[in-house]
Structure 1
Amino acid sequence: MKERWLPVGLVAGGLFLVNVIARLVVRFGAGSDDGKQITIGLWALFAVGAVMIPVAFWYGRRTQMIRVVGELGLAVVVACLLAVLIGPFVSGVGPFSNGVGLVFRQFFYFVGLSAIGAVVGLLLLMTTGLDYRSQSWKRYIERSGTKPRKIVRR
């Protein structure tokens, strides 16, 4: 159980940590300049997508694709809920202080850019032929490509 869900929790925690760091940079570095706040927020979302590229690459080498999609999807949704509902407290405001519409936009931006990063990582993995299915096909071809021993009749 630990081997399956620990990586999911670590991915969710890492994505949430990226969001918290960005919120702290906005709080202490940008001040009240809206332009800087938006720029830092966009860079943070791109960083979340960039983090998903190697995570998806690493995760896709280990397990089947259906498990990768399910477990990374769960990790992204958990991290997104943490970032949207708990993250604003790091900035010094409440999660719904700017309206429900902003919460939904943050949720969809976070999930969307995470999904794009994961897809890019998985496409790189499949292109290099290092994914789980390509490796199993390679092992099958190597194993079945050898001719069996001929039985000698006397």
Structure 2
Amino acid sequence: MDRRWRTIGVLAGGLFAVNVVARLIIRFGFDGDDAAADRVSLVMFVVIGLALAVVAFRWARRRPLAEWAGDIAVVVVAALALTVLVGPLVVGHNPFAGGAGTFFAQIWLYLLATGLGTMIGYLVATALGLDHRSQQLKRYAEVKAAKPRRVVRR
């Protein structure tokens, strides 16, 4: 159990670190350029989505969906809270400075990126037949095919 929470914490911290790096790049590299800041933010969301796609792909191979989906949800909620509330403070801004529209837009974009990344990772694993359930069904079919057919006497 301790290892499970450590993994969740490290993953949430990694997603938050990606956000902090993007905010620092925007702050020091493109402070007045909104178009460049939007591109950096887009790259940040793509990196976060790809990271969760890789995690979902790896976890889908080892554990059933019901086990790891809750872990991903906790990771996303923790990283989202850190990103929206603590991230702006790291670069010296107020989390609510842009208004309610900007605040909630960050939340929706983050949920969209993480949701798409997780779904893509899981769907790729399922399409390739590498997810936990597909492997169980494959093993079941092999066991049933390996047993000799029983002769029925009448």
Alignment partners' CA distance in 1, 2:96 and 2:147: 67
CA deviations 1:69-102 (Å, max 9, x no partner) are 2211211111011000000012210111111221
Question: Which residue of 2 is the match for residue 103 of structure 1?
Answer: 103
Question: Which residue of 1 is the match for residue 144 of structure 2?
Answer: 144
Deviation at 1:13, TM superposition (A): 1.2
Deviation at 1:148, TM superposition (A): 5.2
| Count of matched residue positions in the alignment of Structure 1 and Structure 2 | 150
Deviation at 1:15, TM superposition (A): 0.9
Unmatched tracts of structure 2, length 5 or more: none
Deviation at 1:68, TM superposition (A): 2.3
Question: Which residue of 2 is the match for residue 24 of structure 1?
Answer: 24
What is the TM-score with the length of structure 2 in the denominator? 0.90
What is the TM-score with the length of structure 1 in the denominator? 0.90
Question: Which residue of 1 is the match for residue 123 of structure 2?
Answer: 123
What is the alpha-carbon root mean square deviation over aligned residues?
1.6
Alignment partners' CA distance in 2, 1:133 and 1:6: 26
Unmatched tracts of structure 1, length 5 or more: none
Asked whether 1:87 is paired with 2:87, we answer yes
Alignment partners' CA distance in 2, 1:103 and 1:79: 15
Alignment partners' CA distance in 1, 2:137 and 2:7: 26
Asked whether 1:55 is paired with 2:25, we answer no
Letter in 1 for 2:134: S
Question: Which residue of 1 is the match for residue 78 of structure 2?
Answer: 78
Alignment partners' CA distance in 1, 2:2 and 2:149: 44
Alignment partners' CA distance in 2, 1:27 and 1:33: 10
Alignment partners' CA distance in 1, 2:10 and 2:77: 13
